[in-house]
Amino acid sequence: MKKLILTIILLLSSVLLAQSPAPKMSGPMHSLEWLVGGVWTTDMSKMGNGMKSIETRYSWSDNQTFIRFNTHFVTDKGVQHRYDGNFFYDPAKKSLAMWYMDSENIVFEGPVTTKGDVTKFDFRGEGFDGKMSELRVVLTRKSTSLYN
């Protein structure tokens, strides 16, 4: 019985360790590491079109050099697995950048800038009206678990 309990504790601790965020990074990706871990949720219920929320998950790549993300739209009809992408450092441009692909296999890309607690993603994409336009996402970090 003691061996069984010890085995369970070791298995649980290895699962918890595997889910721990990566150690603090130095270099260009450092400014985005605060996004990693958990589920970031945006309430979209006021749009009135059946959209409830947008959920985004960020995680380090296996080699710790870029951040993966996926975005799901939660609607009254279910969950749409909408976007998957990466934030990375582009050494040729000496700047942060992102690319992502939507569920229709369209690739979007653009620069990422950070200044203090404000991070901006600029790209050309489809807006909520279904038309292609220049888009900007602005994240203002309020704490390690809150952004606007």
- Inform me whether the pLDDT recorded for 17 exceeds 80: no
> E strands, the chain, where?
39-43, 51-60, 67-75, 78-90, 95-102, 107-115, 118-126, 132-143, 146-147
Q: 108-127, pLDDT tens digit by residue? A: 899 999 998 899 989 888 77
Confidence at 139, pLDDT banded by 50, 70, 90: confident
Whether the model clears a pTM of 0.75, i.e. scores above it, the answer is no
- In angstroms, the CA 30 to CA 122 distance is 19
3-state secondary structure of 64: coil
- Inform me whether the pLDDT recorded for 106 exceeds 60: yes
CATH fold group of domain 24-147: Lipocalin (2.40.128)
Question: Terminal CA-to-CA distance of the chain, rounded, Å?
Answer: 50
Q: In the chain, where are the structural domains located? A: 24-147
pLDDT for position 70: 93
